[in-house]
Structure 1
Amino acid sequence: MKPVLEQLLRGQDQIWRGLQTDSANGIATGFAELDALLPGGGWPSGALMHWQLPQVGVGELPLLLPAMASLSRQGRRIVWLAPPYQAYAPGLQQAGVELGQLLVVACPEAADLPWALEVLLRSGGCGMALAWPKRPLAAHQTRRLQLAAEAGNALAVLFAVGHAAQARHAALQLALRRESGGLRLRIAKARGSLRQLDLLLAI
């Protein structure tokens, strides 16, 4: 690359340059084989993830527990917005999650969820936010959430349960399904990679 262009690009953090990744930006998933596949070596920090589920409870929370535990031990707040089930404190504690860092928000009005999530992500005090919207979010809403996650250096996870909604502004899109051998992950999009990835985790 020409030196002048290289110099201009060096100061532009928002420009993705081909297959270039920053391994320092990944949040370890707790699963070595998954970390090896993901750009950055883990879940993307300061980013929105969109997870498609056939139904609640296929294994989405066990997949996130190691990251939740790690972030909570660093003093980062873990927020659940409109969860479809009650948080089971003993199980979370056994997984290493600091319960004092966990906040559960009911969000009874579906229209309030995108706003509440954006505020939390921008606050700078939230390490990870999990959200279960009752209906698909619009493209402009997911874009705002991605920008908010970047601004607050937070990880946001949107769960799309039972519908094939897309969130094209999300840094990572994946679909989960339970199989006899474990949990099947199909990564349709990961910022920093041009490949679609497929993995079976024994969890």
Structure 2
Amino acid sequence: MGAVLAWPQPLAANDAAVGTPAPDAGLEDLLDGRRLWKGGSFPAAPSVHATGHAALDAVLPAGGWPGSALSEILHAAEGVGEIRLAWPALARLSQAGERIVLVAPPHRPFAPAWQSAGIALERLHLVNAESPKDALWAAEQCLRSGSCGAVLCWPQLADDRALRRLQVAAETGQTLALAWRPLQAARNPSPAALRIAIDAAASALRVLKCRGGMAPPQSIPFNAH
């Protein structure tokens, strides 16, 4: 919301007796006389997308995926539910008409599974890339465009600078950014607003980092099936 300017109240008949400003009084005189007030700017509340996993939403400061930021999902191996973790939020976005873009996924999405998860396939778009560098560039452009509801990527050998560019692009385009990375990446710092590790052996999730609060020490149960 921008600055708000309120007009002074109509003058009463006896205002002249109490020092009514002259018709040519300047703005500063009106402000000093408390006949005019000027509002400030109020930043819009950041968007949040519920993950669809109640136990996880309950421990996240914002209550879900940060809508205009990069979130990382770290996993030790494929097939541990790493994609299913995002499906509930993606389903809601696609059903609302938002475009979901997958940039250079490691495997071609199995359409029936995505559809069964509630994702509108006509809103699902796949972007191929010839190299990891091209994939990062494509993900950044999709995020920055502001035309996508969510952008999913699998950064390979991405350094802090590359991840920061994705984070800034997500903020610029006001887009949900999800990145799947190997678990060993948890050893290094990241500009991502949220980092979640999947512990397949314990069927649990661990929040490693969450902007706006402390990461909970306890693991969160996670049924990958």
TM range (shorter): 0.7 to 0.9
Q: Deviations over 1:33-72 (max 9, x none)?
A: 1111112111111010122210122111111111110011
Q: Deviations over 1:74-121 (max 9, x none)?
A: 111111111111111111111110111111112121111221111000
RMSD over aligned Cα atoms: 2.0
Cα pair distance change 1:126/1:133, threshold 3 Å: same
Q: Residue type matched to 1:200 in 2?
A: P
More strand by share: 1
Pairing partner for 2:211 from 178, 191, 196: 191
Q: Is 1:33–2:47 an aligned residue pair? A: no
Mapped to 2, the partners of 1:162 and 1:202 lie a distance apart of 19
Is this contact kept in 1: 2:101–2:148, CA < 8 A?
Answer: yes
Task: Structure 1 unaligned segments of length 5 or more: list them.
Answer: 1-9, 15-21
Q: Deviations over 1:157-183 (max 9, x none)?
A: 111125325352100012112126x3x
- Relative to the length of structure 1, the TM-score reads 0.82
Mapped to 1, the partners of 2:189 and 2:163 lie a distance apart of 6
- Relative to the length of structure 2, the TM-score reads 0.75
What is aligned with 2:129? Answer: 107
Is this contact kept in 2: 1:142–1:167, CA < 8 A?
Answer: no
Cα pair distance change 1:25/1:108, threshold 3 Å: same
Q: Residue type matched to 2:175 in 1?
A: A
Task: Structure 2 unaligned segments of length 5 or more: list them.
Answer: 1-39
Aligned to 2:83, what secondary structure does the other structure show? helix
Q: Flag as ranges the 4+ runs of structure 1 deviating above 4 A.
A: 10-14
Q: Which has the bigger relative contact order, CA under 8 A and spacing at least 6?
A: 1
What is aligned with 1:43? Answer: 65
Percent identity of equivalent pairs: 40
Mapped to 1, the partners of 2:71 and 2:208 lie a distance apart of 11
Pairing partner for 2:172 from 140, 147, 151: 151
Q: Deviations over 1:4-25 (max 9, x none)?
A: xxxxxx85859xxxxxxx6x73
